[in-house]
Structure 1
Amino acid sequence: MAWRRARAIFFCMAAALAMAVGAGWPPSVSAQVANFHPCNAQPSLPICLHGYGRRIAVQRWGATPEPLDPDAVAKAPLVTRDPAGEIEKLKSTTAFVQDMDTSEVLFARDADVVRPIASLVKLMTALVVVEAGLPMDETIVIDASDVDVPSELPSRLAAGARLSRADLLHLALASSENSAAHALGRTYPGGMTAFVEAMNARAAALGMGDSRFVEPIGLSNENVSTARDLARLVHAASRQPLIGEFTTDAKYSIDGRTFRNTNMLVGRPRWDILASKTGTTREAGDCLVMMVRLGGRNLAMVLLNAQGMSGSRFGDAVRLRRVLDSRMAAK
């Protein structure tokens, strides 16, 4: 019996390796190696070239993480003597900064290009839930449809978990939990169809004429918007105290588990963030929206489709802040 079991294991392992080779994985790497992933040996594979693909590789198979953008580190300086050089270093396809009190646009690059926006959608999800006046202490049970959303990253919430609507909102905003966002939409009066209709109605009311929402999570590429529209959204969201509180909470613990904010700028000294949300998919790239208080002004900052090293969207926020600070100091 022992030799039969050993032979079966051998053939299973051989079949797994053959599948890996057939999928384009390097044949010189053994699938038995701890933390095996093709990105470790063949970084030119498509999944390894994009920040989202790399993140999947790191979390699922232990691939070597990307280096962190040096301008995204905690000790990165917030001043510059070369604003033009900072602009040249921006990694985001779209970048937009607007004073929301005066409507003055302080920086714009491709501000009106319609793009997928990934989990930035969750800001609209939160806005609809909060403005509907739904009871935040109501208990909601996570069901299979919440957990089985088509994400490459597994849910940290299990089917059958019981959480308050406030807990779900907190998790959807701070740590971008997909299952939490889905549960918020599913339990909206009238169900998911009514919720999506409410999202689009709210977008129209905000003047987001180039935006469209099809679900509350952000996994669909049919959720689209522009940087100019997203500035309106994050501004409206920042006016809701609960959204401001949850999106600027560095970490949140529930049932003995700690969930951390996906915005690494939250909680840093000299960053007065009023509201924020991150988003990441292959098609949308790495995205970031924030309402920040800078130089006595309330600024909406939007960065879409950041490429390059890990944390480039946060590095871009630092680079834009250097540019803005230099301009304000010159006045």
Structure 2
Amino acid sequence: MMHRFKLAVLGTALLGMLTGVPAGAATSKKPEGHGAARKSEPVAAKKTGNKAATQSAASKSAPKVVAKNSKPVGKLAAAPERAPAKSQAKNTKAVPASKLAAAADVDKKAVRRVSMREIDPGKLALYSSSALVIDQSTGHAVIEKQPDAVVPIASISKLMTSMVVLDAKLDMHEVITITDADVDTMKGTRSRLPVGTTMTRETAMLLALMSSENRAANALGRHYPGGLSAFVAAMNRKAHALGMYNSRFEEPTGLSSNNVSTAHDLARMVTAAARYPEIRQFSTTAEAKVELNGRVRDFGNTNALVRSDSWEIGVSKTGYISEAGRCLVMQARVADKPVVIVLLDSQGKMTRVGDANRIKRWMESAGLGSARKA
């Protein structure tokens, strides 16, 4: 009996324990209004603006919104600055370091000071038998090639002819006439001035200097006070006065091979001729229209360089007879320096012009380094 009672009590206790645990568990895990709370949570979040929910949603959607509708901020702001660099990289080729080094070397060479004294003029290929270039600012010879050889000078003589006429202060508007005495009987050269042509002394000088008209030059000498012999004597006196001690003149045209001089003497003559405005103007006139005997004729300069924009020429005169070869003298400005150029006995029609251009390029290349350095 007692045993049954114990079993009953134990069973009751076990039953109580079994029924009490579920009840406690249900009470602790299932608070009041649980179902209502779940249904109202989304609404509460919308109405109360739950900060955690809002911030979480914003953080998830922010990158997309900023990327589409706004300019990036913070680190993203660097993107627009890098874009031009990428674009520039597409259009610009990278320069190898070796080329940059070579360019630096070229720049160093370009600014190196160069003097004409550092360049051997002997390496300058000149095809004139006698040549001389004088820097008038210093009086020094820049180039010399047989400068003291006494040679025929042909129509270079006409510079002396013009100086003698101007020194006499004769009326430049006086009319003079071409006669049989002006016809070339030594070389048989042609002329565009027929016998009987009349012109002013000024026009005769223009044609003698610009177009090297022999009849015009001879007429200038004939119409000198005392005639042709007095004129030739005046030419030689002028030469001596200029220090042209190795020069001699026999007539005013240069057709005679006995009209001789040296490159050094001619440099003195050109320097003197440059002091006469009329000689400067007439000898560098490129072309002229001259009315002769009621007919207008075109005359051009025998020196093609006076028509070149790359030359600044103050005095010019060409000459040619077979004994003298082709000759050219000029007073010009080359490499920003006043110079006198004398070229005698050039073989070939364009040799004297070629030599003049070679001298000009040589002087400019020598002066270029000094100009850059300065």
Q: What is the TM-score when the length of structure 1 is the normalising length?
A: 0.72
Aligned runs of 1:58-137 on 2, under 5 Å?
87-137=123-173
Matches of 1:276 and 1:246 in 2, distance apart? 9
- The percent identity for this pair of structures is 48
Q: Which amino acid aligns with 1:300?
A: V
**3-state SS of the aligned residue for 2:129?**
strand
2:38 aligned partner: none
Match of 2:342 among 290, 297, 302: 302
Q: 1:191 to 1:327 in 2, by over 3 A?
A: same
Higher relative contact order (CA 8 A, sep 6+): 1
- The alpha carbon displacement at 1:263 in A equals 0.3
Matches of 2:300 and 2:329 in 1, distance apart? 17
- The alpha carbon displacement at 1:84 in A equals 6.4
Aligned runs of 1:151-300 on 2, under 5 Å?
151-255=187-291, 256-300=296-340
Q: 1:243 to 1:149 in 2, by over 3 A?
A: farther
Contact 1:149 1:178 in 2 (8 A): no
- The alpha carbon displacement at 1:85 in A equals 9.5
**3-state SS of the aligned residue for 1:172?**
helix
Q: Which amino acid aligns with 2:256?
A: S
Residue-by-residue CA offset, 1:271-325 (whole Å, 9 max, x unaligned):
10000100001110000000001233210000000113x2110010001111111
Matches of 1:89 and 1:95 in 2, distance apart? 11
- The alpha carbon displacement at 1:131 in A equals 1.5
Q: Give structure 2 stretches of 5+ with no counterpart.
A: 1-118
Q: How many residues align?
A: 248
Whose Rg is larger?
2
Q: 1:244 to 1:149 in 2, by over 3 A?
A: farther
**3-state SS of the aligned residue for 1:98?**
strand
Contact 1:200 1:213 in 2 (8 A): yes
Contact 1:276 1:291 in 2 (8 A): yes
1:320 aligned partner: 359
Q: 1:87 to 1:185 in 2, by over 3 A?
A: farther
Q: Which amino acid aligns with 1:171?
A: L
Matches of 1:206 and 1:246 in 2, distance apart? 22
Contact 2:249 2:258 in 1 (8 A): yes
Matches of 2:324 and 2:120 in 1, distance apart? 26
Matches of 1:235 and 1:252 in 2, distance apart? 25
Q: What is the TM-score when the length of structure 2 is the normalising length?
A: 0.64
Q: Which amino acid aligns with 1:115?
A: V
- The alpha carbon displacement at 1:159 in A equals 1.0
Matches of 1:179 and 1:127 in 2, distance apart? 17
Contact 1:213 1:224 in 2 (8 A): yes
Q: Which amino acid aligns with 1:195?
A: F
Residue-by-residue CA offset, 1:146-189 (whole Å, 9 max, x unaligned):
12442332111111111000000000000000000000000100
Matches of 2:275 and 2:186 in 1, distance apart? 32
Q: Which amino acid aligns with 1:98?
A: I
Q: Give structure 1 stretches of 5+ with no counterpart.
A: 1-82
Q: Which amino acid aligns with 1:209?
A: Y
Q: 1:115 to 1:102 in 2, by over 3 A?
A: same
1:14 aligned partner: none
Matches of 1:121 and 1:114 in 2, distance apart? 14
Matches of 1:306 and 1:251 in 2, distance apart? 24
Contact 2:263 2:342 in 1 (8 A): yes
Q: 1:148 to 1:225 in 2, by over 3 A?
A: closer
Matches of 1:318 and 1:87 in 2, distance apart? 15
**3-state SS of the aligned residue for 1:265?**
helix
Over aligned residue pairs, what C-alpha RMSD do you find? 1.5
Q: 1:319 to 1:149 in 2, by over 3 A?
A: same
- The alpha carbon displacement at 1:88 in A equals 4.7
Q: Which amino acid aligns with 1:322?
A: R
1:330 aligned partner: 369
**3-state SS of the aligned residue for 1:266?**
helix
Residue-by-residue CA offset, 1:14-61 (whole Å, 9 max, x unaligned):
xxxxxxxxxxxxxxxxxxxxxxxxxxxxxxxxxxxxxxxxxxxxxxxx
Matches of 1:166 and 1:277 in 2, distance apart? 17
Q: Which amino acid aligns with 2:360?
A: R
**3-state SS of the aligned residue for 1:134?**
coil
